[in-house]
Structure formats: C-alpha cells, structure tokens
Amino acid sequence: MDRIRANFNKQVFMRTLGAELVSWEKGFARIACDIAEQHLQQHGYAHAGILASIADSACGYAALSTMPDDAEVMSVEFKITLMRPCTANRIIADGRVLKTGRTLVFTEGAVNDANGSETYATMTATMFCLRPVE
C-alpha cells in the first residue's frame, strides 16, 4: 500500500465521517463521502463542516504527495466559500497544489457532486511542511 493511502488510513476522523481516499497523483488528491443523515445541518443540507473537513484533507494530501517520503504536512489556514446549499448524496473533494515551497505549500480545493456538474464549495489552503532534520 502506498504512503499516501497509509497516511490517510491513520486519519481516524476521516473514518468517523465515512470519507474515502478515491485517488491521488503528484500534486492532486481526491476524497469522497456519501452523505447520510449524520452529516446534515438543521435545514437538511450537508453541514459546512463536513465539506470543509474533506476539502482540507484533500488539499493536505495533494501537498503531501509533493513532499519527500518522511515529511509531514499540517494545515496553517484555509478559507472555504459555500456557493450553494449541498443537497448531493455523494460529494467529491479535489485538492490541487498551486505551488510547493520548502516550508509552505499553497493549494486549492473544490467540493463537487459525484458527476462534477455542481460545485458546492471552493477552498484555498496553506500547508506547512515538516521535514525530517537533515
């Protein structure tokens, strides 16, 4: 099993949410989540927090995929814009690296429905890279 997937499997919170790592390549990661009653807010839409959680993770794994094997990444900050209420049965969060530096990795993300026809949220996130002492 690859290191990105192994790392994802250690994120207990992703399991709590029922999220799965769909795919990744260098500079990109995709996480999906079937929306169930447990994810809803008071109007019956998926809660902003579930969208933020999987988009942040997708951005983090996109960043990690550009790092050496023994590096780690932490979220410094992110902004999420919730463009429309999320009524999808399944949401897909894509994270993409815009620029990788020595210490900081700049990423962007989007949360779409399963066939990519509707975008519910966009994100920009800054990741901090923890490299092993050299």
> Under the rule (CB under 8 A), what is the footprint of a copy of itself?
7-8, 10-17, 37-43, 47-50, 52-54, 56-57, 72, 74-85, 98-99, 103-104, 106, 108, 119, 122, 124, 126, 128
Smallest distance from a copy of itself to CB 117, Å: 13
Smallest distance from a copy of itself to CB 114, Å: 19
- Structure tokens given for 126: 């800054």
- Structure tokens given for 31: 């996480």
59 and 95 in contact (C-beta within 8 Å)?
yes
Rounded-to-integer distance, Cα 79 and Cα 36, Å = 25
Cβ-based nearer residue to a copy of itself, 22 or 126 = 126
Cβ-based nearer residue to a copy of itself, 68 or 99 = 99
Rounded-to-integer distance, Cα 112 and Cα 45, Å = 14
Phi, psi of 39 (to 5 degrees): -100, 0
Of the candidates 71, 74, 48, the one whose C-alpha atom is nearest the C-alpha of residue 126 is: 74
Smallest distance from a copy of itself to CB 35, Å: 10
Smallest distance from a copy of itself to CB 23, Å: 19
Cβ-based nearer residue to a copy of itself, 1 or 12 = 12
